[in-house]
Amino acid sequence: GVAAGAAGGGLRDDEGGPDTGRRHGGQGRTRPPKAVAMFCTGGIRCEKATSYAIASGAFPPGVPVYHLDGGILAYLDEIEPHDSMWRGECFVFDRRVAVSHGLRPSAEYESCRGCRGPVSRE
């Protein structure tokens, strides 16, 4: 899934590094962003990434850097679907494979019996 209006940084997993903000934060931009908002599954990686981005100067001075407190899982648990900006499901690292609003297990994905990776029910 993804947040509506998100301008994805093009990152996958823990791909970040010292130049992440410079490489991905301004993709296709001619001006610095007004603000940067990060989100991840449970929030811990984003707390670390937000702190690192601020401390390292990954974004231009004065650009506020935020993270979604508690991650996508907290958001899906707390926000009603009709008020949500989240589209799709969130992959998780347990037998549910993915969850939707209210942390309901996925109706679309299940775990492959061979590799335990997510596969569509189709």
Annotated active-site positions, please? 40
Please name the residues in contact with 79: beta carbons below 8 A apart, sequence gap of 6 or more: 86, 101
* Alpha carbon distance 76, 68 (integer Å): 11
β-bridge pairing 65-67 and 36-38? parallel
